[in-house]
Amino acid sequence: MGKATYKDAGVDLEIYEQSMARLPRLMGRTYSPRVIRLDGGFAGLFQLDFASKLFARNYQDPVLVSCTDGVGTKLKVATEAGVHHTVGIDLVAMSVNDALCCGAEPLFFLDYVAMSHDDPELLEQIVSGISAGCLQSDCALLGGETAIMPDLYNRGDYDLAGFCVGVVERKKVIDGRAIAAGDTLLGVASSGFHSNGYSLVRRVVFDIAQHKINDHIDELGKTVAEVLLEPTQIYVRGVRQLLAHYPVKNVVHGIAHITGGGLFENLERILPTGARAVIRRDSWPVPKAFRWLQRLGEIEEAEMERVFNMGIGLVVAVSAYYADSVRQQLASTGLESWPIGHIAEGERGVVWG
């Protein structure tokens, strides 16, 4: 019997080095002047403020905001389709959109990629998407970890986790406490299923309807892969511009990222005691993809609303006086929105009205 090697155990260090050599370019394109280069270091360095007076942020009482999330079983769809860059965008979106809900500016992002075996091309595809998501979010891809675990994952399988750190002045933290009766609720359009409910999506599309990944769906004008791998909308630039336009807290009172649990569960998270969110049915157009899935699986309406965003990826609670102006600001950045409800006095929660 020959001597045991790491390669025989499933980890090829030479291929791993090839994989790592592909990443610095993808990371470097996301760097701002606030990133302090430490090539080959054990950690990433990021300066909170600029030394230059011209670009100084001049923080008075900065609060760091941190978020983490993954992509879930949408990765199974990516693997089936052989398309891996879009889930990298999803990974960034799920965390930076959460950070936005506090009014934070995303600063930097870290990723964790767990794979069955070294695959330089696959890793490059994944990280190219993460890099693209960071560019959309104006944050730096500061570092990450690639773990090769042949005994935990089947060959070709992988998992992703992402971590975002942002900053906001304490006096500008958006925590929902300013939400009050009379506020208007603006629903901002999602780009589709985002990264939630994919265990149900895959069950319906592939098991019940027996669709194949490259089947063309005439009513949607896309293939199954194109519909299911549409990246999660990143709201950073639109919301950051909105907050900069209205720097005082009496305009934007609360922001909710609509993820797993749907509109009701996520909106309720930001409501203060005594505030009741009243949502009007049919106040926004539900994208065709949701109705297509619902019909395929004969899914009840309540289940759809509990699992999916139904076309609303973000809800912004604003002073009613500024609602039209806020919609115009969002539209100027390419984000469509609709007045979908209001805040009333009553028991804390969300109801249809």
pLDDT above 90 (res 188): yes
Longest Cα separation, the chain: 79
Q: Which domains does the chain have, with CATH numbers?
A: 13-172 (3.30.1330.10), 184-352 (3.90.650.10)
pLDDT above 60 (res 339): yes
Q: How many residues does the chain have?
A: 353
pLDDT (average), residues 46-56: 85
Res. 50 pLDDT band, cuts 50 70 90: confident
Q: Which of 245, 109, 246, 238 is nearest to 166 (CA)?
A: 109
141-157 per-position pLDDT tens digit: 999 999 999 989 999 99
Q: Identify the residue with better confidence: 134 or 20.
A: 134
pLDDT above 90 (res 140): yes
Res. 8 pLDDT band, cuts 50 70 90: confident
Token digits of residue 288: 């065709």
pLDDT above 90 (res 40): no
What pLDDT is stored for residue 181 in this prediction?
A: 98
56-87 per-position pLDDT tens digit: 889 999 999 999 999 999 999 999 999 999 99
pLDDT (average), residues 216-232: 98
235-283 per-position pLDDT tens digit: 999 999 999 998 877 899 999 999 999 999 999 999 999 999 999 999 9
- DSSP assignment, residue 204? I
> In this structure, are residues 306 and 259 in contact, taking their beta carbons and an 8 Å threshold?
no
What rounded mean pLDDT belongs to the chain?
95
Token digits of residue 36: 């302090």
CA distance 323 to 318: 6
What pLDDT is stored for residue 1 in this prediction?
A: 57
Phi, psi of 329 (to 5 degrees): -65, -45
CA distance 336 to 186: 10
